[in-house]
Amino acid sequence: MIKKELIKKLVESSLRKDGAIDKKTAEFVIKNFRKRELKEFQRQLTIKIMEQTVTVSYEGVLSTSSKKEIESIFKGKRVNFIREEKMGGGLRIRANDIIINYNIADLIAGYVNSIN
Amino acid sequence: MKAEELLQQIEKRLSTVSVGAKYENVGEVESVGDGIVRTNGLSKVGFGEIVEFEDGTKGLAFNLEEDSVSIILLSENNSIKEGDKVKSTGQILSSIGSDELLGRVIGPLQNPLDGKKLQLKGKAYPLERMAPGIVEREPVDTPVKTGIKAIDAMIPIGRGQRELLIGDRNTGKTALAIDTIINQKKKDLGLRQLICIYCAIGQKRSNIARTVGKLQEEGAMDYTVIVASGASDPASLQFLAPFAATAMGEYFMEKGQDVLVVYDDLSKHAWAYRQLSLLLRRPAGREAYPGDIFYLHSRLLERSSRMSDKYGGGSLTSLPIIETQAGDSSAYIPTNVISITDGQIYLENDLFNSGIRPAINAGLSVSRVGGAAQTKGMKQVGAPLRLELAQYRSLAAFVQFGSDLDEQTRNKIERGKRVTEVLKQPQYSPLDEASEIAIIYAATSGGLDDIPVDRIKEFESRFIEFIKVKNKKLIDVLKKGEKLDDKIQDELDKSLAIFKKAF
């Protein structure tokens, strides 16, 4: 079993900024890694992708300037903009394991929770 | 509730809801099994923080690793599966302190177990809390009257003390604790009411029900709270039960009241913690217990204290119970708890089987601070008791050679037999201070030497009854626990002589 730290280093060095993985590394891993090592590789890869990705959900229209402003906040990370229905306006930003809720749907859910 | 009132309450509630952006720290379930969930994410979660799963199940963050968090689940019924979302709540586990708790049977998470509703309002007391510092404390000086002659005379317990009850199974450990709770009804010596918290850990539900029934029957539930986590409950709840009981006790202590917490028992608590630790893949140490098992019990029992008047003047007394295997008090957990507590009451199987109940081994039992809490009267009659017993035990082996013994030795043995008989006491019949002093004085002063051993018990009950009726003045003096001066001793001797004539 290859050590977790080594797998982690391999993931860090092979993951490109656009979210794709280096082809040579991918082939090496699939060819040589055992099941447990593959599982750990997959786990570390998921964690790394999560760390590098920011997802912004919104309903309706989000202006290009707003998008650029958001992108400038999360410099060095890939920002995905996703249109989501039933949010009732506002935004939901997920950066790694932090979720920032600033939308009507979540606000109402908070009210309902509070009343309950 | 009227519709207007409801609307007002809703409005009030909504006015406090913030409309700003909300932050959530989330994670994803990687594996689940045996009450343990491993998640990724949750990088901002704190140790001991409550987390909430998608299905509403709550858990406790217990292992914070580099890229994963292990959570212990607080309930068994859940539908958590791999990939489920989990979020932190920013809250730590706490118990709400309230007088409503008195007379109730509740779980470690304050869920009622007695079939009645429980709505608690008040300050939340964290389950894990730093023990009071030395500045906030005061020396132990007030007794916890157990009503058990052997304990009150030889191994006295003070308010704020930690006294361990240790012994094999079925030697009467729980019985001693229950008797102590029952005895608090008397408010002996004019002491303040002692609030009792009985914490059952890993016991059969039938046993817990029996204990509750007995306390109800004796009218002790008015000042008692039962915190129960049965053998069928998850290990996480068994682990939390004593901490919850202590947190509830701290509420009463902060109010300036005196509290007694019985942990029945910490052996099972250690098992529950070992189970959790092994499932969390923490390194196992001696007897497979984790390395911090000592710290687990020391940080729990360190919270027992007698607070100074400046800090409310309350107290929290602990009676932890440890079950030994085949009388082995040198095992890992017993030695740990012995070294943490301020003394131990050692119960022996052989004594129990030979009819000496409570089966207290006076030689191995000790109270390190309780002496300061004893009344002068009790101290005076209790001092020769230990000596009489020790001498009797060392000479008892020669009993079989009866005829060859010199008179002095024979007398010592005869006295020892009577003292042993006097210290026997049936379950659920604790005595008040005056009765204890009177009968112990009679035994140690030689007043019972001419009474046949098999009639000692009868003599005791009738003598106590006699002085209670015929010499109320003497009882009133003894009740105060004052020193037995020559006058009181003469009075006691006189009563003894008059009663013996009629006996």
pLDDT in tens, A15-54: 887 778 888 888 988 899 999 999 999 989 988 988 999 9
Dist. CA B349–CA B7, nearest whole Å: 65
Dist. CA B418–CA B446, nearest whole Å: 9
- Residue A14 CB neighbours (<10 A): 19
* Angle, CA B45 vertex, CA A39 and CA A88 arms, to 5°: 90
Phi/psi at B194 (nearest 5 deg)?
Answer: -95, 120
- Residue B136 CB neighbours (<10 A): 14
Give me the amino acid identity at B463.
F
Rg of chain B over all Cα atoms, to the nearest angstrom: 26
pLDDT of residue B401: 64
Do the Cβ atoms of B153 and B373 come closer than 8 Å?
no
Partners of A114 on chain B (C-beta within 8 Å) are 13-14, 16-17
Gap between the terminal Cα atoms of chain A: 51
Tell me the CB-side half-sphere exposure of residue A3, using CA atoms within 13 A. Answer: 3
CATH code of B96-374, in short, is 3.40.50.300
Asked if B41 and A97 come within 8 Å (Cβ–Cβ), the reply is: yes
* H-helix or E-strand spanning residue A16: none
Rg of chain A over all Cα atoms, to the nearest angstrom: 19
Asked if A99 and B26 come within 8 Å (Cβ–Cβ), the reply is: yes
Asked if B24 and A96 come within 8 Å (Cβ–Cβ), the reply is: no
- Residue A90 CB neighbours (<10 A): 17
Do the Cβ atoms of A65 and A90 come closer than 8 Å?
no
Chain B nearest-CA distance from A32, in A, is 24
Do the Cβ atoms of A23 and A30 come closer than 8 Å?
no
**Torsion angle of alpha carbons B229, B234, B239, B240, nearest 10°?**
-70
Q: What's the token pair of residue B101? A: 């708790």
Q: What is the DSSP string of B387-428?
A: HHHHHHHHHHTTGGGGGGS-HHHHHHHHHHHHHHHHH---TT
Do the Cβ atoms of B88 and B45 come closer than 8 Å?
yes
Chain B nearest-CA distance from A91, in A, is 9
pLDDT of residue B145: 94
Q: Does B52 touch chain A (CB under 8 A)?
A: no
* H-helix or E-strand spanning residue B243: helix B235-254
Residue A5 predicted with pLDDT over 90: no
Which residue from A43, A97, A115 is facing B26, i.e. has the nearest CB?
A: A97
Best CA proximity match to B232, nearest among B268, B280, B284: B268
Across the range A55-82, mean pLDDT stands at: 91
For domain B378-502, which CATH number applies: 3.30.540.10, 1.20.150.20, 1.20.1250.20, 2.120.10.30? 1.20.150.20
Best CA proximity match to B188, nearest among B370, B430, B488, B426: B430
Chain B nearest-CA distance from A22, in A, is 23
Cis peptide before B139 (omega within 30 of 0): no
Q: What's the token pair of residue A115? A: 């009343």
Ranges under pLDDT 50 in chain B: none
Do the Cβ atoms of B147 and B431 come closer than 8 Å?
yes
pLDDT of residue B232: 94
Asked if A98 and B24 come within 8 Å (Cβ–Cβ), the reply is: yes
Dist. CA B337–CA B296, nearest whole Å: 10
pLDDT of residue A85: 83
Phi/psi at B204 (nearest 5 deg)?
Answer: -65, 145
Asked if B21 and A102 come within 8 Å (Cβ–Cβ), the reply is: yes
Scanning every residue of chain A, which has its alpha carbon at the shortest distance from the alpha carbon of B42?
Answer: A97
- Residue B1 CB neighbours (<10 A): 6
Dist. CA A93–CA B23, nearest whole Å: 10
Which residue from B14, B41, B44 is facing A111, i.e. has the nearest CB?
A: B14
Locus of tokens 């292992």: B63
Q: What's the token pair of residue B113? A: 């177990």
Tell me the CB-side half-sphere exposure of residue A78, using CA atoms within 13 A. Answer: 14
pLDDT of residue B268: 97
Instruction: Determine which of A40, A58, A93, A97 to mutate to test the interface with B (most B C-beta atoms within 10 Å).
Output: A97
pLDDT of residue B189: 81
pLDDT of residue A104: 84
User: What residue spans define the domains of chain B?
Assistant: 24-92, 96-374, 378-502
Asked if B13 and A99 come within 8 Å (Cβ–Cβ), the reply is: no
pLDDT of residue B403: 61
Give me the amino acid identity at B313.
G
Q: Does B69 touch chain A (CB under 8 A)?
A: no
pLDDT category of residue A109 using cuts at 50, 70 and 90:
confident
Do the Cβ atoms of B315 and B305 come closer than 8 Å?
yes
Asked if A106 and B22 come within 8 Å (Cβ–Cβ), the reply is: yes
For domain B24-92, which CATH number applies: 3.20.20.10, 2.30.38.10, 3.40.50.280, 2.40.30.20? 2.40.30.20
pLDDT of residue B77: 77
Asked if A100 and B27 come within 8 Å (Cβ–Cβ), the reply is: no
- For B382, B454, B463, the CA distances from B502, given in Å and listed in that order, are 27, 18, 10
State the maximum Cα–Cα separation within chain A, in Å, rounded to a whole number. 56
Which residue from A50, A101, A115 is facing B21, i.e. has the nearest CB?
A: A101
Q: What is the DSSP string of B184-213?
A: GGG-GGGPPPEEEEEEEEEE-HHHHHHHHH
Q: What's the token pair of residue A25? A: 């590394």
Do the Cβ atoms of A35 and A67 come closer than 8 Å?
no
Instruction: Determine which of B24, B40, B51, B86 to mutate to test the interface with A (most A C-beta atoms within 10 Å).
Output: B24
Give me the amino acid identity at B439.
I
Q: What are the catalytic residues of B?
A: 368
Instruction: Determine which of B6, B11, B17 to mutate to test the interface with A (most A C-beta atoms within 10 Å).
Output: B17
Q: Does B27 touch chain A (CB under 8 A)?
A: yes
User: Dihedral sign, CA of B431, B428, B354, B342?
Assistant: negative
pLDDT of residue B190: 84
Asked if A100 and B23 come within 8 Å (Cβ–Cβ), the reply is: yes
